[in-house]
Amino acid sequence: MTRLPSDPAQTTLVLTDSQVEAIVSSAEAGLDVRRRYQFFVWIQGSLQVLLPHQLTVCGAYARTRHELQFETFNSVPVDAELLSGFTDSRSPLLTQLQEMWLRARCKPVTLNFEIPPQGNESALQELLRSAGFKELLAHGVSRPQRPNEIETFFVLASQTAPFTPRQRLCLELLLPHMHSTWQRVQVVERELRELPPPQMARPASASQITERERQILSWLREGCSNPQIGETLGISALTVKNHVQKILRKLGAANRAQAVAIAISLNLLSSSARPGELTPTRR
């Protein structure tokens, strides 16, 4: 067990050895992240073990716009209106979270949805509550000596359970790595946008992905193997492998994780089979 302080005014929290190892593993893996899809895969790894959540909102200060610019990553189907609300830098909820964070002297803050609403909620809060989200956990990075000038701001939304004090400590320890990784992604993506477009086949549109391929994508997102998917869908593992190869070609993806990230960005999984409709046999 490893003891680490979160706040001098509070009792020292204790992290398990596995949590410390997961923090180190996340920090090391983050060094190789350059692109958005790699960032999505990264937050689904050790970070997800430490901080279970289904929706990640990442904000970075855009100097051309003089405000934070937000993007979302979701590991479960999420209503498009909800995602759109989180990309509006002036939304009342994002503004509220940033104000809460500043009042907390730049420490992680939470907003709980298990408590009955106090007064009028914003439209985004109502969408989160109706979608089954239980709590938001927010943290960020400000410029040195200028706390009001936020450089990056992250919001994690959980549908499973409220975040514990130990998980908030994990976020504090991970934040420098999340900040540097997201900043690096912004720089690389901006440089790539400025390059001439490469001559390559265009990725598939949503209409080119068959319903069977959507089903297989949904179970790839859940981390199922070819035999597990085949057993669930009543087809052979070889047939599943052939489907996966077709999916990779259609989406222009290099691997399964990238295919899932692209599929989510194209909303290909929003109408596909969800956990509960099909039950894979996990081994």
Give me the helices (H) in the chain, please: 17-30, 36-43, 46-50, 80-86, 92-103, 123-130, 165-194, 211-221, 226-233, 237-251, 256-265
pLDDT at 2: 44
Burial of 194 (0-12, 13-18, 19+ CB in 10 A): exposed
Rounded Cα–Cα distance for residues 179 and 189 (Å): 16
135 bridge partner residues: 112, 158
Count Cβ neighbours within 10 Å for each residue of 52-71 and write b for 16 or more, e otherwise: ebbbbbbbbbeeeeeebebb
Rounded Cα–Cα distance for residues 60 and 214 (Å): 32
pLDDT at 9: 45
Query: Which stretches of 159-214 are assigned E, i.e. beta strand?
Result: none
Note if the pTM is more than 0.75. Answer: no
Rounded Cα–Cα distance for residues 18 and 191 (Å): 37
Rounded Cα–Cα distance for residues 139 and 142 (Å): 10
The CATH T-level fold of domain 2-194 is Beta-Lactamase (3.30.450)
How many Å separate Cα 282 from the centre of its chain? Answer: 24
- The boundaries of every CATH 3.30.450.80 domain in the chain are 2-194
pLDDT at 197: 54
> Residue type at 71?
E
pLDDT at 170: 93
pLDDT at 150: 95
- The boundaries of every CATH 1.10.10.10 domain in the chain are 206-265
CATH number of 206-265: 1.10.10.10
pLDDT in tens, the chain (283 residues): 444 444 444 457 788 888 899 999 999 999 999 999 899 999 988 788 899 999 999 999 988 888 999 999 998 888 889 999 999 988 999 999 999 999 999 999 999 988 877 777 788 888 998 899 999 999 999 988 888 899 999 999 999 989 999 999 999 999 999 999 999 999 998 888 776 654 444 555 556 888 899 889 988 888 888 999 998 888 998 999 999 999 988 888 888 888 888 888 788 875 434 443 444 444 3
Q: Answer positive or negative: Cα dihedral of 128, 130, 133, 137.
A: positive
pLDDT at 267: 80
The CA distances from residue 116 to 25, 53, 120, 124, in Å, are 38, 21, 11, 15
Would you state the torsion angle of the CA atoms of residues 270, 276, 278, 281, taken in this order, to the nearest 10 degrees?
130
Query: Which stretches of the chain are assigned E, i.e. beta strand?
Result: 2-4, 13-15, 55-62, 67-74, 109-112, 135-143, 146-158
pLDDT at 8: 44
Which helix or strand (DSSP H or E) is residue 179 part of?
A: helix 165-194
Which helix or strand (DSSP H or E) is residue 198 part of?
A: none
pLDDT at 40: 92
The CA distances from residue 117 to 53, 95, 122, 126, in Å, are 22, 18, 10, 9
